[in-house]
Amino acid sequence: MDNLFMKTALCAAMLSALNVSAVNAQEVERSQKEPMEQFNEIGEGLIIQHKATQHERSVFKAGQALSSLSKQLGVEVFHKRFDANQSQIVTFGKPQPVEVLTKLAKQLTETGNYQFVEVNRYFQPTLTPNDSRLGDMWGLINNNTGIRAEAGWDSNSGSNVTVAVLDTGFRPHADLADNIVGGYDFVSSAFMGNDNNGRDADARDPGDAVSASECGWSHSARNSSWHGTHVAGTIAAVGNNGQGVVGTAYNANILPVRVLGKCGGTTADIADAIVWASGGNVSGVPTNAFPADVINLSLGGNSGCSSTYQSAINQARNNGVTLVVAAGNSGRDVANFSPASCDGVIAVAAHDQAGQRSVWSSWASSNFGSKIDVSAPGTGILSTLNSGTNGPGADNYVSYNGTSMATPHVAGVVAQMLHQSPYLSPTAVEMRIKHSARTFLPGSSCNTSNCGDGMLDAPGAIGLASSPSIEYRAHVANNGWLEFEMNGDTAGTTGESRRMEALQMFMYNSNMGICYNAHVAGIGWQPAVCDGDIAGTTYQSRRVEAVRIWLNNRAPGCSVEYRAHVAGQGWLNWVPQGGVAGTTGQSRRMEALQARLTGNCD
């Protein structure tokens, strides 16, 4: 270990001699002469979660403790701060290759003295810029592959909902400034912040231009992206003002939270910003006066979801905040890309105007995979920008490409949904986004196995936000409670030989209630329960064999129907309210359920 960094430096020199580029964790705008495969990953340091009380953690930044840690690792360790999760952020004087940091993290983890040790990676905006201006906003208005925003605006434009944009900050563009509220700069590095200081209350974007190899690895020079301003404009550029573009939710509030600067941003800064934006507390940072309802993360890096990210996301969800995340532009499975692969987020792929999965060059295309939730327009997206190549210049409008551009379309629609129904949970929002998505076009390279449940549909999602609906979930042997489903989707499993053990159901957006009971092996029919109570048993290894469901205070013309998937028989017929779905007296396990409202239930 004493020679680890020396060996790394020698290796880097050899790579340079061989003209092999080494850069950041996530593809940002590059020339086509720099294919993604040539880039290695760099990190700032480590994130260490100690097995200690908060009082005991204070000693870990002391000189003696750092000296001991330095001796253990064989390199000098510097304390930077504690993050919102009370993990210690440490550095090694300068950024290091992720390969090196991963070895250091493994060395500490193997001692058993820490809850976890993770690499504090660099993350980047998920865009692939395109200098050509398209002159229209097909992503909003195209009825075949756009989000059909005009029909959504018949319902609302997102007023009184706050969307946090965790990005490069913002410019006070004339077509955006009226919707900006509050904000904070979470970039802790003065160099990366490009503003001669660390964290502060100024979320304005000073520019993120870099000269060739300025970040400490081999890369080309690039102009300032003004990425956060572009993303914010897609969400909430001012509408009905007679100029420029219009946002998806053009009356929503934008909370700008700066987490990306020159050379990107770090896991620790982004995680702290997620907590703060959602209304949580971060040491040394003032309370957020404008807690977000939605968080847009048009950023990411090539790694699985870290504990640091997942903890921050869990805190935000516990605060009732929906997180919408770009899938990434590497043309790879999103499972290896974070934070889009984290649990509890809406992961967004990109499609083009023809409805195909977006491909921008030989090395850049939308990520894909089973963790994608929905696809949205991400090619040739016109939005607010700034003309400055280094520092700020004049307001302008430019079309960009990337999953970064797809994601704010979804965040804007979520804002409209929450204006319609403010009480919707993050899970309920995600279900409605997915359930309302429109089918991919015939012959499209997008399908439900690689681009999510379909193409984002604004009026459909907004309509579901306020329409009566059934939500339900199944408790399954060896799996426990699965995710909630709604309106005819499958709760439980099929083809896995797993018994369904319990059922829980809710009615949304209605004065009606929903009641149900289960026929359980060895027990028979249980008493009826309603509105969120549990029918069946959990952790008793007893199978549900049949269910009955009915509406309470049923509206005239409204009913419920449902069906059971039974071992050895598959899906049985749909049965009406009060009928038996499943079998009794045949010792057959019920494995899954589908239920839906029928008739006029509004």
Determine what percent of the chain is predicted with pLDDT higher than 90.
Answer: 70
Q: Decide if 55 is catalytic.
A: no
- Average pLDDT of the chain, as a whole number: 87
Of the residues 50, 227, 230, 419, which is catalytic? 227
Going by pLDDT thresholds of 50, 70 and 90, the confidence category of residue 278 is very high
Q: Tell me what the mean pLDDT of segment 532-543 comes to.
A: 96
pTM score: 0.81
Tell me which residue of 17, 46, 59, 70 sits closest to 308, measured CA to CA. 46
Phi-psi region of 190 (alpha: psi -120 to 50; beta: other; left: phi over 0): alpha
pLDDT in tens, 59-113: 565 666 777 778 777 778 888 878 887 888 888 877 777 788 888 888 888 888 8
The pLDDT of residue 2 is above 70: no
Residue 397 forms beta bridges with which residues?
Answer: 384
pLDDT of residue 11: 33
Distances (CA, A) of 599 to 261, 431, 551: 53, 21, 13
Alpha-carbon Rg for the chain in angstroms: 25
Task: Identify the DSSP state of 506.
Answer: E
The pLDDT of residue 350 is above 80: yes
Q: Which domains does the chain have, with CATH numbers?
A: 125-466 (3.40.50.200), 469-599 (no CATH)
**Secondary structure element (H or E) that encloses residue 535, with its range:** strand 534-536
Of the residues 303, 404, 469, 510, which is catalytic? 404
Q: Decide if 227 is catalytic.
A: yes
Of the residues 167, 373, 395, 457, which is catalytic? 167
Q: Tell me what the mean pLDDT of segment 173-179 comes to.
A: 96
Q: Decide if 565 is catalytic.
A: no
Q: Tell me what the mean pLDDT of segment 379-398 comes to.
A: 96
Going by pLDDT thresholds of 50, 70 and 90, the confidence category of residue 35 is very low
